[in-house]
Structure 1
Amino acid sequence: MSIRDVPIRDESIRLGQFLKLAGLAEDGGHAKELIETEDVTVNDQVEVRRGRQLRHGDVVAVDGRSARLVAGS
């Protein structure tokens, strides 16, 4: 499975925001639904906290699609 790198400007981002930014969720409501139904993993662990702070290098996966946070400019 390929992992797409998604740059962020800050040191961290909330999981719900990152799902939208990475295109893994259509909008905030979709992100909330994915998290509540335990369809989201962070570093291969199911994550149910929408406000979870993600940092550079974390890998988020949904339905076989993965995105990794990287430092942006």
Structure 2
Amino acid sequence: MEEITINTTTINLDQLLKWAGIAETGGQVKIMIDEGIITLNNVTVTERRKKIHPGDIIEIEGLGKWQVTKE
């Protein structure tokens, strides 16, 4: 599992994935959500602007698994 470090208390899922270089655009994130391949703490994500907190674990089927940490 890789780590993604943020310097804020929360970040939106789409912003996080773009910032970490996992997705290039918000549209790409939307497609992944529509396909049901993103989970947050083992729960399928249904919204792009889902708030992500340090300690959360994001998994994208076929791409990897990341834990969010605070700087």
Normalising by structure 2, what TM-score? 0.87
Matches within 5 A, 1:46-57: 46-57=44-55
How much identity, in percent, do the aligned residues show?
29
RMSD: 1.2
Instruction: Kindly state the Cα deviation for residue 17 of structure 1 after the two structures are TM-superposed.
Output: 1.0
Query: Are 2:59 and 1:68 aligned?
Result: no
Matched residues, number: 70
Q: Which residue of 2 aligns with 1:12?
A: 10
TM-score by length of 1: 0.85
**For residues 59 and 50 of structure 1, what CA distance do their matches in structure 2 show?**
16
Query: Which amino acid in the other structure matches residue 68 of structure 1?
Result: Q
CA distance in 2, matches of 1:50, 1:27: 11
> How far off its partner does 1:24 sit?
2.5
Structure 2 unaligned blocks of 5 or more: none
Asked if 2 retains the 8 angstrom alpha-carbon contact of 1:12 and 1:53, the reply is yes
Are the aligned partners of 1:43 and 1:58 in contact in 2 as well (CA < 8 Å)? yes
Partner of 1:45: 43
Structure 1 residues without counterparts, runs of 5 or longer? none
Given that 1:22 and 1:67 are in contact with CA atoms closer than 8 Å, whether structure 2 keeps it comes out as: no
**C-alpha distance in 2 between matches for 1:15 and 1:32:** 10
